[in-house]
Amino acid sequence: MARTREFDTEAAVSRAMELFWTRGYEATSVRDLTQHLGIGQGSLYAAFGDKAGLYRAALDHYRATLAADALRSLEEGADARSAIRTMLMERVRIAAEHGGRGCLAVNAACERLPGDSSIRRTVRDMQDASRDALAEVLRVAAERGEIAARHDPQSLAAFFVTFLNGLLVSSKITPDPDALAPVVEVALTALD
């Protein structure tokens, strides 16, 4: 008779996300994971298949929580410039926490993408969702006259996603949101 799972899978994924985010995929061993999660190796394999399966689950959790929160805050902003500034600075603040651990998705892109198409797809989906949400905010802002109408919302959104990726890498080197704020202001001039 099969044993029932004796741990909260969602809590385990959340805790694994924190460990992967802090240490990275390669530097996190299965032993590190089992100790951090308080589960046995057999339970980890039964629930997630392997370390890579748990990593994918952690990325999905990141997308469903932190990345989704960033998109929600973008959509709730009063004007486009303020909403984009707030979103960028909040992402930098989160990335700079814990000594500059960066962004889990950007870290995954830098560390895991070359040989892992499922990770590439997950990160690309997050990037596409960010770009599409930004493009909609920018489209509406152009209609309201908040930004120059000469800009293509999709291209401008792609610029901000690319800028954000670089900003998140920079936050690992300079984990100080106040130091990075002037760069955000320069990027916002693209809306003029």
**Domains in the chain and their CATH numbers?**
59-191 (1.10.357.10)
The pTM for the full model equals 0.87
Q: How many Cβ atoms are within 10 Å of 166's Cβ, its own excluded? A: 12
Q: How far apart are CA 98 and CA 141, in angstroms?
A: 35
Give Cβ neighbours of residue 125 (< 8 Å, ≥ 6 apart). Answer: 63
* Radius of gyration (C-alpha) of the chain in whole angstroms: 19
Q: For residues 63 and 72, give the distance between their C-alpha atoms in angstroms, rounded to a whole number.
A: 12
Residue 75: predicted pLDDT: 72
pLDDT, position 1: 45
Tell me, what's the pLDDT at 114? 62
pLDDT at 119: 85
Residue given tokens 């979103």 in the structure block: 87
Contact 120, 163 (CB under 8 A): no
Which residues in the chain show pLDDT less than 50? 1, 4
Instruction: Measure the CA–CA gap between 87 and 89, rounded to whole angstroms.
Output: 6
